[in-house]
Chain A
Amino acid sequence: MKPSVLAFSLLAATALTSQAHADKLDDIIASGTLRCAVVLDFPPMGARDESNNAIGFDVDYCNDLAKALGVTAEIVETPFPERIPALMSGRVDVGVASTSDTLERAKTVGMTIPYFAFEMAVTANEKSGVKSFEDMKGKVVGATAGTYEAIALEEQVKAWGTGEFRPYQTQADVFLALSQGQLDATVSTSTVAQANVKTGKFPGIAVVGKAPFDIDYVSLFTNREEYGLINFLNLFINQQVRTGRYAELYGKWVGGEAPNLAVNGVYR
């Protein structure tokens, strides 16, 4: 065979085989769409405005991420228990859904460095007589199934030995039950508690104090084996803080000083 034909065919072969394995980062850029899992009954991270459009810190974050990748963002609404199953079934590419970085979840999905931090607050029905975290002992309490605070609250109720814990499927159901008096108190992030009390949609509830759970760091998540995408997301979060965009979004949606996202004394 002539050398030039041989060289050309080798070149063609390598060119074709190099596209055989593309990772998720390439897939997203090639498809032109980034599908994010976002929770939309969790203000101010995710909510719907009067015209039913998705708004919130998480929505803006997803849009920023899509811009960095050069694609369009598609917000896929998922309730809290559905975030990770949506990723595992291929309905979404990334989760921008205020997901706490627990070790249990890290066994199934890949979690990035924290992109936001929550403090837990106790919200109580005004007629229940609960004025602090300790007052919740012996009462009927509840939270959204599958969330970090629900798991922590259930362990606390078991440790107290008295009282009842009820898991509801959505954050909205929890506040509805709280407002009706079927729950005496709930533990939720201070941001969603204040946002919901302010809307006035759930009369008769008030934020009564902090809950002594550890600070809740939340991460973005994607498939465990997609190292390329996870590295990109980590750098993206770092850049959001560096360029001041994180502080800007925090001021827009929550107000006040943005919390520190690094844990002192340990590398990620």
Chain B
Amino acid sequence: MLNYTFHWNQAFKALPQMLDGAVVTLQIALLSMVLGVALALALTAFRLSGSRILRGFATTWVEIARNTPALFQIYMAHFGLGNFGIHLSPYTALLIGIAFNNAGYLAENFRGALKAIPETQARAGRSLGMTPIQAFRLIVLPQMLRVAFLPATNQMVWAILMTSLGVTVGMNTDLAGITQELNARSFRTFEFFALAAVIYYIIAKLVTLAARLVAARMFRY
């Protein structure tokens, strides 16, 4: 028989604390997405450029970000850099680790989205008298963002869930950090983790819903 009596009231008493943590989680996820998109656009540009150094750099970044565990990336940002004397706070290390990971995945998304747009679009733009950069900015880029939007939303939800890895680098103000601390004090593991899971689920669903509304508005013809 289950050797455990549930004490749900203890978990609900801690709800305000956990909601404060949820705000910090959302904050980190949003910042890391903004950074990730900016870096991914740069990486995509590097990938398409003629310079071998830039292409090699971008490919290395994408390969490492996509093929190693996010936990390692975050751990390296805190302890790995710390070995060289660069001290990043747990918040910053988590942010940089997730942004690194996001940039890698989003760069692949953008590359795929770019391939989905036929070359004739850019050529039609040039034939109308636009410069290459104008053709890219006004014709290709909006279409590319449209195709890449839903995969990017996926990555945003993934970033929210990845913030939970911050506990390994001493992060104690986000949702997972607060939950782990409450758990370590009282050992009501099941109650606290179940409640935290529900909060993560709600946050992820809200973000997906918001993204769909934005998509409906922004991508109207």
Task: List B residues at the A interface (Cβ < 8 Å).
Answer: 3-4, 78-79, 82-83, 85, 87, 90, 167-170, 172, 177, 180-181, 183-189
In the complex, are the beta carbons of B186 and A108 less than 8 A apart?
Answer: yes
* A168/B170 contact (C-beta < 8 A), A88-B4, A180-B79 known: yes
In the complex, are the beta carbons of B82 and A167 less than 8 A apart?
Answer: no
User: Could you pull out 27 A-B pairs where Cβ atoms are within 8 angstroms?
Assistant: A84-B187, A85-B187, A88-B3, A88-B187, A104-B186, A108-B186, A108-B188, A109-B187, A145-B180, A145-B184, A146-B184, A146-B185, A151-B185, A165-B172, A166-B90, A166-B170, A167-B172, A167-B180, A167-B184, A168-B168, A173-B170, A177-B79, A177-B170, A180-B79, A180-B83, A181-B85, A182-B87
> Is A43 on the interface with B (CB-CB < 8 A)?
no
Instruction: Determine how close the nearest CB of chain B comes to the CB of A23; give it in whole angstroms.
Output: 13
* A105/B170 contact (C-beta < 8 A), A88-B3, A180-B87 known: no
Which chain A residues lie closer than 8 Å to B183 at the CB level? 81, 146
In Å, the complex CA distance between A166 and B174 comes to 13
In Å, the complex CA distance between A107 and B3 comes to 14
> Is A142 on the interface with B (CB-CB < 8 A)?
yes
> Is A32 on the interface with B (CB-CB < 8 A)?
no
Q: A85-B187, A173-B170, A177-B170 are in contact. List 10 more A-B contacts (CB 8 A).
A: A81-B183, A85-B189, A107-B186, A145-B167, A146-B185, A167-B170, A167-B172, A177-B82, A180-B82, A223-B3
In the complex, are the beta carbons of B187 and A108 less than 8 A apart?
Answer: yes
> Is A194 on the interface with B (CB-CB < 8 A)?
no
Task: List A residues at the B interface (Cβ < 8 Å).
Answer: 81, 84-85, 88, 90, 104-105, 107-109, 142, 145-146, 151, 165-169, 173, 176-177, 180-182, 223
In Å, the complex CA distance between A60 and B167 comes to 32
Which chain B residues lie closer than 8 Å to A81 at the CB level? 180, 183-184
Closest chain B residue to A140, Cβ basis: B89
A-B contact count (CB 8 A): 63
Which chain B residues lie closer than 8 Å to A107 at the CB level? 186
Closest chain A residue to B75, Cβ basis: A173
Smallest CB-CB A-B distances: 7 pairs: A146-B184, A166-B170, A180-B82, A108-B187, A84-B187, A81-B184, A168-B170
* A169/B167 contact (C-beta < 8 A), A109-B187, A145-B181, A177-B82 known: yes
In the complex, are the beta carbons of B187 and A182 less than 8 A apart?
Answer: no
In Å, the complex CA distance between A104 and B183 comes to 11
Instruction: Determine how close the nearest CB of chain B comes to the CB of A265; give it in whole angstroms.
Output: 29
Q: A84, A104, A145, A169 — which one has the most chain B CB atoms within 10 A of its CB?
A: A145
In the complex, are the beta carbons of A181 and B87 less than 8 A apart?
Answer: yes
Closest chain B residue to A169, Cβ basis: B168
Q: B78, B168, B187 — which one has the most chain A CB atoms within 10 A of its CB?
A: B187
Which chain B residues lie closer than 8 Å to A108 at the CB level? 186-188
Which chain B residues lie closer than 8 Å to A167 at the CB level? 170, 172, 177, 180-181, 184
Instruction: Determine how close the nearest CB of chain A comes to the CB of B28; give it in whole angstroms.
Output: 16
Which chain A residues lie closer than 8 Å to B90 at the CB level? 166
In Å, the complex CA distance between A124 and B182 comes to 27
In the complex, are the beta carbons of B78 and A182 less than 8 A apart?
Answer: yes
Which chain B residues lie closer than 8 Å to A145 at the CB level? 167, 180-181, 184
Closest chain A residue to B172, Cβ basis: A167
In Å, the complex CA distance between A84 and B184 comes to 9
Instruction: Determine how close the nearest CB of chain B comes to the CB of A183; give it in whole angstroms.
Output: 9
Which chain B residues lie closer than 8 Å to A166 at the CB level? 90, 170, 172
In Å, the complex CA distance between A145 and B179 comes to 12
In Å, the complex CA distance between A146 and B169 comes to 15
Which chain B residues lie closer than 8 Å to A176 at the CB level? 79
